[in-house]
Amino acid sequence: MSGRSFIGETRIEALPGDARGFAYGDGLFETMRVHQGVVPWWAAHRARLEAGAARLRLSLPTATTIEGVLAELFDDQGDGVAKLIVTRGGGGRGYAPALDAPPVWRLSRHPFPQAPRAGGLVLRWCETRLAVQPALAGLKHCNRLEQVLARGEWNDPTIEEGLMRSTDGDVVCATAANLFVLHGTRWSTPRIDRCGVAGTCRAWLLSQTGAAEVRMAPAEVETADAVLLCNAVRGILPVARLGERVFAPHPAVAELAQRLAHAHPGFAAGPLL
């Protein structure tokens, strides 16, 4: 059942030439965990999509339309990942956007990513930096070349993720996840007002932990009592090692994973998928 997709009103295999997301990255995307044919956090994904579209002045397909196509793609009531890409349509060649152009969009179905090894993730520091751009900060926009370059820095299968800093040197995120660190009983997470993505799982963890949103130096990660990554598809991912720093399993991370399993049925069978 993997590999099925829907674009606009017609099933095709490639984005049409007037999709500005293809030419310029002029669009947004959502990657969502599906459980028994539905997206338990659909309201949160839709709210983020709408907020991003308002900032980019981008038209969206209606929620009802997206929900109908999602139901069709997962008509077996199966589990998996749904990826929605919405790009500005029209305008032809050139940067000037046609603000009234209807969106060109794609919804596709995919299997879960491979589960990490038991015991926690092994991380490294990335050399590629995230540019400081407040106009795009927080958005899950289609310009992801920084993450592509960062993820291309290693091919060691024992390393599962890399942490990224901004061009000013503060820690922002992993290549495909948000970051939380624990010092004593206090959680904190990097601010995303200058770059980075406002993750839906990040938002849930903020509501559960009251974590402080801070400018985070690399030393604050390396000296933490516990570190975790999170995203809406894989949930809460404990970190076992960052470079030479080893982190022992921490009960606070396990407790948050249990809370997530109660809040999101897709993680009830195991939060590390």
Q: Do the two domains 5-110 and 121-265 of this chain adopt the same fold?
A: no
Predicted confidence band of residue 218 (pLDDT cuts 50, 70, 90): very high
Which percentage of the chain shows pLDDT scores above 90? 82
**Predicted local distance difference test score (pLDDT) of residue 273:** 37
Q: Where are the beta strands (DSSP E) in 98-224?
A: 103-110, 121-125, 161-165, 171-174, 178-183, 186-190, 212-214
Per residue in 88-110, pLDDT (tens digit) is 987 677 898 888 888 999 999 99
Per residue in 228-265, pLDDT (tens digit) is 999 999 999 999 999 999 999 999 999 999 999 999 99
- Rounded Cα distance, 72 and 176, in Å: 27
Domains of the chain, by residue range, sit at 5-110, 121-265
CATH architecture of 121-265: Alpha-Beta Barrel (3.20)
Mean pLDDT of the region 58-85: 96
Map residue 252 onto helix, strand or coil. Answer: helix
- Rounded Cα distance, 266 and 106, in Å: 23
- Cα–Cα nearest to 180, from 116, 237, 118: 237
CATH topology of domain 5-110: D-amino Acid Aminotransferase; Chain A, domain 1 (3.30.470)
Is a pLDDT exceeding 60 seen at residue 129? yes
Is a pLDDT exceeding 80 seen at residue 205? yes
- Rounded Cα distance, 251 and 247, in Å: 12
pTM: 0.92
Among 23-37, 96-110, 159-173, 187-201, the least confident range: 96-110
Burial class (CB in 10 A: 0-12, 13-18, 19+), 4: middle
**Predicted local distance difference test score (pLDDT) of residue 254:** 96
